[in-house]
């Protein structure tokens, strides 16, 4: 079973991402309503991939990515951003911080599934 951590403050968007991932065989999800919750879950859950929004209360997605990339225990975990932030500047910043992929909301569920298979097999 591949485990994906989803950090997204919108319950509607979170459930859309979860249903997209769990439609694939061999994938399960762990939910966090913000970056702070995601950081609390990381040591407890062995996750294979992290998906984060950028705009969240407490710790935002960019801060979450920075923390994960600078931590030797999690640094190699693939990271996707799914955000409404769609400017070239936002994309460049997210990728420069270490995100592997950047999808813009509303995202195409089949594209997310293809990327998951690419990174996790």
State pLDDT tens for residues 11-26: 999 999 999 999 999 9
**Cβ atoms of residues 10 and 58 within 8 Å:** no
Give residue 98's pLDDT. Answer: 96
Domain that holds residue 79: 2-120
Task: Tell me the pLDDT tens digit for each residue of 5-58.
Answer: 999 999 999 999 999 999 999 999 999 999 999 999 999 999 999 999 999 998
The pLDDT assigned to 44 comes to 97
What is the pLDDT, as a whole number, of residue 90? 93
**What is the distance between the alpha carbons of residues 70 and 72, in angstroms, rounded to a whole number?**
6
Mean pLDDT in the chain? Answer: 96
**In this model, does residue 121 exceed pLDDT 90?**
no
Provide, rounded to the nearest whole percent, the portion of the chain with pLDDT above 70: 100
Q: How many domains does the chain have?
A: 1
Q: Look up the pTM and report it.
A: 0.97
Over range 70-92, report the average pLDDT.
Answer: 95
Give the pairing of strands 101-104 and 49-52. unpaired
The CATH number that applies at residue 53 is 3.40.50.2300
Beta-sheet pairing, 27-32 with 49-52: unpaired
Q: Can you read off the two tokens belonging to residue 89? A: 């500047």
Rounded Cα gap, residues 31 and 90, in angstroms = 24
Query: What is the signed CA dihedral for 116, 99, 75, 109, rounded to 10 degrees?
Result: -20
């Amino acid at each position: 079973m591949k485990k994906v951590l989803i950090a997204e403050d919108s319950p509607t968007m979170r459930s859309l991402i979860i249903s997209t991932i769990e439609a694939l065989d061999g994938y399960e999800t762990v939910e966090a309503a913000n970056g702070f919750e995601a950081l609390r879950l990381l040591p407890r859950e062995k996750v294979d991939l992290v998906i984060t929004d950028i705009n969240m209360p407490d710790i935002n997605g960019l801060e979450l990515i920075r923390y994960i990339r600078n931590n030797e225990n999690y640094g190699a975990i693939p990271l996707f951003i799914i955000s409404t932030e769609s400017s070239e500047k936002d994309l460049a910043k997210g990728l420069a911080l270490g995100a592997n992929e950047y999808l813009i909301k509303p995202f195409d569920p089949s594209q997310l599934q293809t990327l998951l298979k690419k990174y996790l097999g």
